[in-house]
């Protein structure tokens, strides 16, 4: 099977812009499922995604972090705002863990609340939930074109496989492989796939994930591409190490020539 050419894609931030869905699903999870002693601001006033949520998005790795951040933005006492944002982001991972400890929450439980909020929306208004995901049309077209050229397509998402599949189906995209957060971390997934496929590239908008791939002996030979159109920090594009290339959306077809 090594002769089968495979192109791998991250999902949110690469194939779709899911920032609206993440906000409204996280907000619903806070309202319906999250156990907290904090009082919230008037949640109904957030008709649009707040700017601070969008600004923090590039630091997020897992879906459960979205609920935690949403909770901190919504709470009345010492909220996460423009004044406190920079200090929070300076030690982002440590601060997230500190908040888990402070509230006696578990990350797996927060992820379950997010999944429950999504399931609730799908059951009650699937059309509206789907509409919260905005596809990057150039990427959708490229995936279809690559499949026509006999490339296998794999999606590695930090959403669950079931929700990722629903969105892909609505976009009429049918990849050969779909992995959700249940499948483990991306380095291990790609390492396992490399045993069976000729991986021609992995497109991801989280620089740290790509760094982990090129730093791993089992995956360091994978061509890694940082999606310029995704959720990037201001510093992400600078001084990229060997093995990671910045990819513009207009240059996607270059992947078929490598």
Q: Say whether pLDDT at 35 is over 90.
A: no
For the domain made up of 5-17+135-257, the CATH class stated in words is alpha beta
Q: What is the DSSP string of 198-221?
A: EEEEEEES-HHHHHHHHTSTTTTT
Average predicted confidence (pLDDT) for the chain: 93
Global confidence as pTM: 0.89
N- to C-terminal Cα separation, the chain: 19
- Summarize pLDDT for 64-118 with one digit per residue, the tens: 999 999 999 998 888 899 999 999 999 999 999 999 999 999 999 999 999 999 9
Angle at 197 between CA 192 and CA 198, to 5 degrees: 120
- Summarize pLDDT for 187-219 with one digit per residue, the tens: 999 999 999 999 999 999 999 999 999 999 999
How much is the pLDDT for 63? 92
Give span(s): CATH 3.40.50.1000, the chain: 5-17+135-257
How does strand 244-247 pair with strand 5-10? unpaired
Q: What 3-state class would DSSP assign to 252?
A: helix
């Amino acid at each position: 099977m090594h002769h089968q050419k495979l192109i791998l894609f991250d999902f949110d931030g690469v194939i779709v812009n899911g920032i609206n869905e993440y906000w409204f699903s996280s907000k619903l999870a806070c309202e319906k499922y999250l156990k907290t002693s904090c009082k919230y601001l008037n949640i109904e006033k957030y008709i649009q995604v707040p700017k601070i949520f969008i600004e923090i998005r590039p630091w997020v790795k897992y879906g459960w972090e979205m609920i935690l951040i949403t909770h901190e933005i919504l709470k009345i006492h010492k909220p996460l705002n423009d004044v406190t944002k920079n200090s929070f982001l300076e030690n982002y991972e440590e601060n997230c863990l500190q908040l888990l400890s402070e509230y006696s929450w578990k990350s797996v439980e927060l992820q379950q609340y997010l999944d429950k909020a999504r399931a609730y929306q799908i059951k009650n208004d699937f059309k509206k939930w789907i509409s919260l995901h905005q596809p990057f049309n150039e990427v959708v077209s490229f995936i279809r074109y690559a499949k026509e050229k006999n490339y296998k397509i794999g999606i590695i998402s930090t959403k669950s496989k079931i929700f990722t599949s629903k969105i892909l189906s609505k976009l009429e995209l049918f990849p050969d492989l779909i992995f959700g957060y249940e499948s483990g971390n991306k380095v291990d997934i790609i390492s396992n796939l490399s045993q069976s496929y000729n991986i021609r590239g992995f497109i991801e908008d989280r620089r740290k994930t790509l760094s982990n791939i090129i730093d791993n002996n089992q995956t360091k030979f994978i061509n890694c591409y940082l999606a310029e159109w995704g959720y990037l920090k201001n510093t992400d594009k600078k001084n990229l190490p060997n093995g990671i290339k910045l990819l513009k959306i207009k240059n996607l077809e270059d992947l078929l020539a490598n």
